[in-house]
Amino acid sequence: MLFPPPRPHRLKVENFGPIKSADVSFGNLTVFVGPQATGKSILLQLQKLLVDTPSIKKEFARAGVDWSGDYHGFLDVYFGEGMRSLLKPDTRITLNGSPVDLERQIREKRPHRQESMFFIPAQRVLALRDGWPSAFNYYDASVPFTLREFSEHLRLLMSDFGTEGTLFPVPRRLKAEFRDLLQDHIFPGFDLKIDTQRAQKRLVLASQDKDGGSLPVAVWSAGQREFVPLLLGLYWLMVSSKTPRRKGVNWAVIEELEMGLHPRAIAVVMLMMFELMARGYRVCLSTHSPQVLDAVWALQRLKNHGAPASELLQVFAVEPTAPMLELAEKVMQRNIKVYYFDREAGKTKDISALDPSAEEAGESGWGGLAEFSGRANEAVARAVANSNQ
Amino acid sequence: MGFKEVVAATPKLAGQWQAGLGALRPQDKSHVTPEDTSTARLRGSVDIDSALTASDPNGNRWDFAIGYQHANRSDEYIYWVETHTGSDSQISLVLRKLAWLKTWLKGDGKKLAKFDKSFVWVPSGATSFTKGATQVRMLADQGLLYTGSVFKIPINHATAKLDNATHNRSRRRH
């Protein structure tokens, strides 16, 4: 059975922060690429604000955040201190063809709806800064909502694991194939556990060797520090193998999934993004990793050429077990969009075709991600051509 | 001597020089575009493949040579261009063509070999390589630049190379 295409969801934005003009039609997977500070993250945050206004307001109210009906004050507490300047007098937002009056949407009382978009922010490592996730209120109002909310979700998640529980590997959490890959590439020889030290709970990496000790967050590798909050976020989204999605949650945003990770680990995480897609989430990624686009490019091409699902698993060097083949088959029916945020033009460009031979440099160079390789190849080719050796 | 004169003096290429991109087959012309839309910088082209068919019918002959005058170089530059399907299965054939060209440049083409140059493979259809692909790196290691479907000849070369007189003239203008 063919997977139905996603409901159209098109966001157009003009004059919003660094964005002069963005026009994004979201797919089952949507990937944003582009240099730093071109508006990828704020566009995703805006998207969350648009789809989750009631739950965001409720969370602020619950935490005692008083924006006193001041619209610009609200923008500061939502996007983070000083970010009210994102909105300009000539900012225009259009969602699915209808203009959005953001101020009115924020001010008006609407019936509460559960959160629909789960956001794993790029600054996620801060959520575990002290070895244990902090409550929403712990952060001051200068911190963006998405980080505060993510930290709060992790705090709630911890209560599912008891006081001295194991967080990884855990049966029935993630497919066995994922557990094996993560063990190999991210936690070799270690379990992720909850430990209590002087009455304070904390996360540790406990050696699987009987005589080995436990490592607190401060001594984890950069990749492990970055990955653990991402893993916990994925636990939040992948409730169990029998429940494909968390109730009410349709969107999953993961910013810079590649942070701190070796390419082999990035491949595992990318495969987990495919798992989210297969479960029916609309997944949005922002990335600076050419490897993420390599994976998307391979998926697009294999899909277009009617390749068997096992070919996709080959890309990730994964055994074609029945659950993984099912995952790959589902993903190969999904629709993917890729957008480049062009700093010079202040515009988004649809580069979903990812055509390496495209005349447009933004597309062939994959939004700058392959630009350096291209220049390196050119320089080497010239040097070899003109060498006397 | 410039590109045109050296072509005329090269065995079996006499009379083969053509102005602009005139030597390119019609189907190849859309794959090569000078960035400078005035064609004054183009110093002509030669269809190597056709010119040498009779003398080397079984050779893996290269396609074209294009002479170009970059704004930041004193001497003319040659782009040796092969328009060819861009896929894994064609790599060995294109590398054989490159080897043929390098050999020819040591023999009959030795005067043309004195120009600074780039060997360029322009994919003639959809390509299966990404810019960072291992195959593209491997080709670069052989001196072969793999481009997008349209090869844009830049006005300025990546590395300027001006003789003293031209350099001084250029400085005075600025």
CA nearest B129 in A: which residue? A356
Residues 6+ apart with CB under 8 A from A276: A234, A237, A238, A252, A283
Residue B172: count of CB within 10 angstroms of its CB: 7
Residue A364 has pLDDT above 90, yes or no: no
Cα–Cα distance, A223 to A244 (Å, whole number)? 27
Q: Considering only A203-212, A239-248, A306-315, B142-151, which range has the smallest mean pLDDT? A: A239-248
Residue A49 has pLDDT above 90, yes or no: yes
Chain A residues touching residue B140 (CB < 8 angstroms): 376-378, 380-381, 384
CA nearest B130 in A: which residue? A356
Q: What is the CA angle A272-A277-A280, rounded to 5?
A: 135
Cα–Cα distance, A34 to A362 (Å, whole number)? 9
The whole-chain average pLDDT of chain A stands at 91
B152/chain A closest Cα distance in angstroms: 9
Chosen for mutation from B102, B129, B130 (greatest number of chain A CBs closer than 10 Å) is B130
Coil, helix or strand at residue A15 = strand
Question: Stretch A101-128: mean pLDDT, rounded?
Answer: 91
Chain A residues touching residue B70 (CB < 8 angstroms): none
HSE, CB side, 13 Å, CA atoms: give it for residue A370: 30
pLDDT-derived band at A110, boundaries 50, 70, 90:
confident
Residue B162 has pLDDT above 70, yes or no: yes
pLDDT, tens only, A151-174: 999 999 888 776 668 999 988 889
Residue A274: count of CB within 10 angstroms of its CB: 22
Inter-chain contact A378–B145, Cβ cutoff 8 Å?
yes
Helix (H) or strand (E) holding B169: helix B164-173
For residues A292 and B130, is the Cβ–Cβ distance under 8 A? no
Question: Stretch A103-112: mean pLDDT, rounded?
Answer: 87
Residue B163 has pLDDT above 90, yes or no: no
Q: What is the structure's pLDDT at B171?
A: 61
A302/chain B closest Cα distance in angstroms: 11
Q: Considering only A65-74, A158-167, A361-370, which range has the smallest mean pLDDT? A: A158-167
Q: What is the structure's pLDDT at A1?
A: 41
CA nearest A377 in B: which residue? B140
Chain A residues touching residue B148 (CB < 8 angstroms): 356-359, 364
For residues A19 and A346, is the Cβ–Cβ distance under 8 A? yes
Q: What is the structure's pLDDT at A2?
A: 46
Residue A5 has pLDDT above 60, yes or no: no
Residue indicated by tokens 């050119």: A378
Q: Is A222 on the interface with B (CB under 8 A)?
A: no
Residue A60 has pLDDT above 80, yes or no: yes
Inter-chain contact B128–A381, Cβ cutoff 8 Å?
no
Residue B173 has pLDDT above 60, yes or no: no
Q: Considering only A242-246, A328-332, B51-55, which range has the smallest mean pLDDT? A: A242-246
Between A207 and A365, name the one with better pLDDT: A207
Residue B42 has pLDDT above 70, yes or no: yes
Most confident region among A23-27, A57-61, A303-307 by mean pLDDT: A23-27
Q: What is the structure's pLDDT at B103?
A: 97
Q: Considering only A64-68, A83-87, B78-82, which range has the smallest mean pLDDT? A: A64-68
pLDDT-derived band at A79, boundaries 50, 70, 90:
very high
Q: Is A311 on the interface with B (CB under 8 A)?
A: no
Question: Stretch B41-63: mean pLDDT, rounded?
Answer: 96
Q: Chain B neighbours among A 243-282 (CB < 8 Å)?
A: none
Please give the share of chain B, as a percent, with pLDDT higher than 90.
71
Inter-chain contact A356–B148, Cβ cutoff 8 Å?
yes
Residues of B near A (CB-CB distance < 8 A)?
A: 86, 116-119, 123, 126-133, 136-137, 139-146, 148-150, 158-159
Q: Is A37 on the interface with B (CB under 8 A)?
A: no
Residue A64 has pLDDT above 50, yes or no: yes
Cα–Cα distance, A252 to A283 (Å, whole number)? 5
Question: Stretch A91-106: mean pLDDT, rounded?
Answer: 95
Between B174 and B90, name the one with better pLDDT: B90
Inter-chain contact B145–A384, Cβ cutoff 8 Å?
no
Chain A residues touching residue B119 (CB < 8 angstroms): 381, 385
Between A27 and A239, name the one with better pLDDT: A27
Kindly provide the ipTM of the predicted complex, given to two decimals.
0.83
Q: Closest by alpha carbon to B42, among B167, B153, B165?
A: B153
Of B116, B148, B158, which is closest to A359 when you measure between CB atoms? B148
For residues A340 and A367, is the Cβ–Cβ distance under 8 A? yes
Between A236 and A200, name the one with better pLDDT: A236
Cα–Cα distance, B43 to B76 (Å, whole number)? 8
Cα–Cα distance, B85 to B149 (Å, whole number)? 10
Q: Is A356 on the interface with B (CB under 8 A)?
A: yes
For residues A314 and A269, is the Cβ–Cβ distance under 8 A? no
Q: Considering only A123-132, B1-10, B66-75, B120-129, which range has the smallest mean pLDDT? A: B120-129
